[in-house]
Structure 1
Amino acid sequence: MLLGGRAPEYLAHDPLVVALVIKFFSSGKALASICYGQLILVAASVAKDHKCTAFPPVKPASVASGAHWVEPDTMAATVVDGNLITATTYEGHSEFIQHFVKALARNISGSNKKILFFYGVCSNDFQAHN
């Protein structure tokens, strides 16, 4: 899962991060990205020919990388295309996480298997909206 915020602007320039994302995506496993996390997808060229969405300022980079941009109706939009799950902002966490857990569940079997998922929001804006 590639989270948003400003860190992806820097991580997208790290060759080890890019190589890991390429390897992971090529394996067919679910890859989820939200907000600015799509900048890492762009750097790894894994969104090419896939439908995706992101925080709107990421649109030019996504389109330039060959992704099929889906204009978000709201800042809670999520788009699923094969093993790629993308979302716009934290406002869509519930739908985004629901799709990601559903994709993970395809690979989890057995009655004693469970998923524990922690996430947080590192934004002062989040406080203002809740």
Structure 2
Amino acid sequence: MKVLLLAGDFVEDYELFAPLKALEMLGIDVHVVCPDKKAGDTVQSAIHFMEEGRQTYSERQGHPFPLTHTFDDVKLAEYAGLVIPGGRFPEYQRYDDRVLFLCKHFFERDLPVAAICHGVQILAAAGVLQGRTCAGFHMCRIDVEAGGASFVEFHPDSKNAHVEGNLVTAPAYNAIGAWMREFIKLLGVKVQLE
């Protein structure tokens, strides 16, 4: 099974690395791609901090992350699902028609899609949220509602994920466990604990 993971400079560090490792642990082949970059090129991640008393999150430089595959070589028919982390990269990739086409592909085929935090900005821009409900970072509410969806309000520290049809969304990195658990279920992967 192959899953596509979309990335870009200043992707949120945890929201890229944790789902990648969770899926790899299950034997899923994860292809991490970024428009205009090739396999072996890097994207710079960022680590976000929700600090008490601050009006928004602060950001520190995270790890440089090597891409596993070349964006232009992606054959969408090969993938069982799509993961869209958050961070700042959705702010600019939502203007890239190639990224929007990619997102629409998964929704047109009712394939599992996992978006967290600011990742919902890309889905809103792709026009795939119309009539749906979804979660995301609370500052993305206006994007979600402008995209025709109802916003599910979770506290940024929440460990909850929201599932509707083929889409699983969550507010921020604290919810990665629930978010990935629900995405793995949508993929049809059975995990048996002994």
Please give the TM-score of this superposition, normalised by the length of structure 1.
0.78
Residue 81 of structure 1 aligns to which amino acid in structure 2?
E
Of residues 166, 169, 182, the one that matches 1:83 is 166
**Which stretches of structure 1, 4 residues or longer, exceed 4 Å deviation after superposition?**
none
Aligned residues: 108
Partner SS for 1:76: coil
Distance 1:98 1:59 in 2: 24
TM-superposed CA distance for 1:75, in Å, is: 3.2
**Is 2:112 the partner of 1:30?**
yes
| Unaligned ranges ≥5, structure 2 | 1-82
Unaligned runs of 5+ in 1: 115-130
Picking from 17, 21, 39, the partner of 2:103 is: 21
Mapped partners of 1:15, 1:43: distance in 2: 10
How well do the aligned residues superpose, as a CA RMSD in angstroms?
Answer: 1.6
The CA deviation at 1:77 is 2.7
Greater strand content: 2
Is it true that 1:100 corresponds to 2:183 in the alignment? yes
Residue 124 of structure 1 is matched in structure 2 by: none
State how 1:1-130 maps to structure 2 within 5 Å. Answer: 1-73=83-155, 74-105=157-188
Higher helix share: 1
Which has the larger Rg?
Answer: 2
Q: Percent identity?
A: 34
